[in-house]
Amino acid sequence: MSKAIIEKILKCLALAKSSNEHEAAVALRQAQKLMQAYGITDLDIEHADIQEEGAHAGAAKKPASWECELADRVANAFGCSVYLAVGWNGGRRMFVGTWMFVGAAPSAEIARYAFEVMFRQVKCARANHIKTALKRCTTTRTRRADLFCEGWVMTATALIERFAGNVETQARITAYLEHKHPNMQSSSTTNRNAGRNLSERDYGDLVAGHRAGKSAQLNHGVNGAAAPLALE
């Protein structure tokens, strides 16, 4: 669907509210003609400001629970919804996952950007923790690194709460998803620590993640604008 056509229809609908009856009638007819010609519905117009912005996921199926938590927390902070889209990458000959942030402009774009930077940062912190604290671990390395990431995500995402989006748009976002993605299904995650009694070392990894997450800083854009955000 052409964004330019949607914008033209919106302009016509705005003119249709003119106090000049002739001008209003002409504008309304023009909007109706465009909608019929391009198969655009009332729902398409209602959802014109809803955007979907994609960020690469760490896995195509069953991503780590801490990664899902990061995506959910970022989406919620900016008044968005998020879902995992799975597609085939012909060049790499494999399925790839994409986190799709859905929200009213520009919230979805900001949420996508914030997730990308935070995801990159937590992976860097994870690699450093493995190199320094888990270098002698073998069978428990990945599981304990996950605990570190859980702690990092919980602490770092608290920094973005002050940028929370308008929750009043959630109903429209839900309606948009039901209209555009009626066959969406829930997916499972990979939690390597589910149902496990954590040891003192495990708690140490979780605490280390909390401490590392405190170094994340989310700043407002230039002159207090909402975008772009910088997380360093």
CA distance 67 to 136: 25
Stronger pLDDT, 152 or 217, i.e. the higher one: 152
Backbone angles phi, psi at 190, to 5 degrees: -105, 110
Please name which of 93, 3, 85 lies closest in space to residue 50, comparing C-alpha atoms. Answer: 3
Q: Say if residue 50 is exposed, middle or buried (CB neighbours under 10 Å; 0-12, 13-18, 19+).
A: buried
Q: Which residues contact 55 (CB under 8 A, 6 or more apart)?
A: 98, 99, 101, 112, 115, 116, 119
Tell me the whole-structure pTM to 2 decimals: 0.83
Using only C-alpha atoms, the chain has a radius of gyration, in whole angstroms, of 22
Length of the chain: 232
CB atoms within 10 A of CB 144: 24
Q: What is the pLDDT of residues 102-132, one digit of tens each?
A: 999 889 999 999 999 999 999 999 999 999 9
User: Inter-axis angle of helices 107-132 and 65-77, to 10 degrees?
Assistant: 150
Please name which of 130, 185, 156, 147 lies closest in space to residue 66, comparing C-alpha atoms. Answer: 147
Q: What is the pLDDT of residues 135-173, one digit of tens each?
A: 999 899 999 999 999 999 999 998 776 554 566 688 899
Whether residue 63 is predicted with pLDDT greater than 50 in this model: the reply is yes
User: 224: alpha, beta or left, given left = phi > 0 and alpha = psi -120 to 50?
Assistant: left
